[in-house]
Structure 1
Amino acid sequence: MPKLHRRALLGATAGLLAAPLAAPRLAHAAWPDRPIRMMIPYGGGGQTDVVARIVADAMSRNLGQVVTPDNRPGAAGVVAAEAVVRSPADGYTILVGTRNTQAINQALRPNLPFAHARDLVTIGLYATTPNILLVHASVPARNLAEFIAHARANPGKLNYASSGIGATTHLSMELLSEKAGLEMTHVPYRQSTQGMTDLLAGRVQARLVGLPEAEPVKADPAIRALGVTSPRRSPNWPEVPAIGEVVQGYEALNLFGLMAHSGTPPEIVLRLNRSLNEALASAELRTAFARVGADPAPPNTPEQAEDRALAQANLWVPMIRRLNLSAQ
């Protein structure tokens, strides 16, 4: 399959992109002069929500206006993205998401009411997080190798939760199933926290979930942590191996960033990018990220963020097509 190509991005501002941390001269000198809404595509309490709220708080401080989180769950990000596309292109409504998530949604839902490449522009990236494989204590597996053996011996009998079809918690488990030769039943949830509730109750047997969402249940005896999806162990869970230690070549990270309506004036996109980079440099944000197991992105331009997100999309979209996944 041919690779996805990065669209021409902010061509008129190439000079500004060469020095992303320099303050652009705004034609909209008073911007922002009112609060900004940050549309979060999942419900409260999940990893996307937890990390986005840390970023919103940090950006509120350096923008001088409140960045208000607004949870709009549904269709693995489509509901929130459509809300941004239908909002005025003035930078006052921004989206938690990346070109990666939008490319995934386009692959799963070819009849979307908007075109992600045309209607959304990248602001920047702010974090990556690994997922962690949690199983209910009733599963007779003390480690990842035993879990794989148990799942292979019981094809179709294990249920696993995700935050929705096409969410990284879903695709990460599909990747594990593909590489390890497993057959499990997918149970998607609209609310990520409900999936965790059902895992703790034993109504589903397994779940890959982001570290920020797993931290509150770390000591719960109802669950057992078997592996993280990052290439190395997480300092927050040092006793839990990387899945790649058992399943060769396995790696899956969650990528988080901000987007805006594509008609947003370039100088406002760059002002938001500068605010995001300032937030990433703050000690308060870095401490908060470390507490929940998120890794801050390095300073990045909109173009750099776009390139990295599309590199991720080029991993996931072929898998969606190979497995014939669909959210229709």
Structure 2
Amino acid sequence: MFDTSLSRRAVLASAALFALQARAQGNWPARSIRLVVPGPAGAGSDIFARMIGDQLQAVLKQPVLVDNKAGANGLIGNDAVAKAPGDGYTILMSPSSAIAINPVIQPKMPYDTQKDLVPVAQVGAAGILLVAHPSTGFKSLGDMVAYAKAHPDKLSYGSWGSGSTGHLVMEGIKAHYGIAMPHVPYKGVAQEVTDLLGNNLSVGFVDIASPVPHIRSGRLIALGCTGSARGPALPEVATLTEQGYRFDADGWYGVFAPAGTPREVVVRLNQEINQILAKDEVIKQFAVQNMARPPLKSADQFAATVRQDIDTWQRMAKLAKLRVD
């Protein structure tokens, strides 16, 4: 016989739980928020995450705690967020390469990028830098290519990981110019820059921001940058397109949340982050870090950008025959 009292109790319990969840969402945030950065301290994603996080905790009235989880071109940190509860208390600051390229080169992804991560807000749009140690004597992309042609397999290059934008761009350069340069993948930009400064690595692609002080001091030489425009902090550094190798696609950093995060939390985060990005002081800070004025997009507009860029970058990765080293 059907137990109607049990059924009523279940319905009442479900209603009470729903009410508690709704009340909790209405009071969001009621505690600290974890902002996962899939890179080491000092890398580009870390710099912009802390910049945004400091401002975000002021307006949300709750601590925003940066949690660095570096390695595997962002796979480790992104996976942690993809598997986190969708309660609004764990968010991610990811570079575009970790979102778009990992699914192509990783033989077995531990999560589904487009199903398990919800786009919240775009944070900037820019290229990356090709740099060299001063001892190489390189001043441009052409100098590096000429040396590599004359010395096959003698010049290694670094990137912040297999499947990173730097890996993708250099593999395209190698194919275009017919040069052989072994790839040295690092767990993050910080380790790569350290080896470049110590002349343990001659050339490498790095993020747009963290090497700027070393370039200004002359400890590293910028050979060029990818993207649609020169960086505001290094206007003298020509784009690769200007130097004859067309690569004008812009990368970005983006804030994501786990699937299941309430829509109202996503919208609130998007609005607060966009208000932060529109501040004059933040625009100036971005320029100092070599990032152009950030675009302001709704969560839905950013989601459309993510879908488009996943298609574009994965197509380029397949053409470059990118693989995990």
TM-score, structure 1 as length reference:
0.86
Question: In the aligned structure 2, how far is the partner of 1:84 from the partner of 1:65?
Answer: 19
Q: What pairs up with 1:166-205 in 2 under 5 angstroms?
A: 166-205=163-202
Tell me which moved more, 124-133 or 88-97. 124-133
Q: 1:29 aligns with which of 26, 29, 44?
A: 26
Cα distance change of structure 1 residues 52 and 296 upon mapping to structure 2, 3 Å threshold: farther
Q: 1:66 aligns with which of 58, 63, 66?
A: 63
| Alignment-derived partner of residue 8 in structure 1 | none
Tell me which moved more, 86-95 or 210-219. 210-219
- 1:118-173 C-alpha deviation (Å, 9 max, x unpaired): 21111110112321211112224333322221122222111111111111222222
Task: Kindly indicate whether structure 1 or structure 2 has the higher relative contact order, using CA contacts under 8 Å at least 6 residues apart.
Answer: 1
- Give the counterpart letter for 1:263 in structure 2: G
Structure 2, unmatched stretches of 5+, are 1-21
Question: In the aligned structure 1, how far is the partner of 2:94 from the partner of 2:162?
Answer: 16
Compute the RMSD of aligned alpha carbons: 2.1
Cα distance change of structure 1 residues 303 and 181 upon mapping to structure 2, 3 Å threshold: farther
| Alignment-derived partner of residue 112 in structure 2 | 115
Q: What pairs up with 1:96-175 in 2 under 5 angstroms?
A: 96-97=93-94, 101-175=98-172
1:293 counterpart = 2:290: yes
Question: In the aligned structure 2, how far is the partner of 1:128 from the partner of 1:287?
Answer: 15
- Give the counterpart letter for 1:57 in structure 2: D
Question: In the aligned structure 2, how far is the partner of 1:244 from the partner of 1:271?
Answer: 38
Higher Cα Rg: structure 1 or 2? Answer: 2
Identity within the alignment, %: 33
Question: In the aligned structure 2, how far is the partner of 1:26 from the partner of 1:62?
Answer: 20
- 1:243-297 C-alpha deviation (Å, 9 max, x unpaired): 1112242224321111111111111111111111111112232121111111243
Q: 1:249 aligns with which of 246, 249, 268?
A: 246
Question: In the aligned structure 2, how far is the partner of 1:292 from the partner of 1:126?
Answer: 13
Cα distance change of structure 1 residues 117 and 309 upon mapping to structure 2, 3 Å threshold: closer
- Check the 8 A contact 1:133/1:227 in 2, yes or no: yes
- Check the 8 A contact 1:140/1:147 in 2, yes or no: no
| Alignment-derived partner of residue 257 in structure 2 | 260
- 1:204-223 C-alpha deviation (Å, 9 max, x unpaired): 11012122111120234442
| Alignment-derived partner of residue 304 in structure 1 | 301
CA displacement at 1:238 relative to structure 2: 2.2
TM-score, structure 2 as length reference:
0.87
Count of residues in Structure 1 that have an aligned counterpart in Structure 2 = 304
Q: 2:43 aligns with which of 42, 46, 56?
A: 46
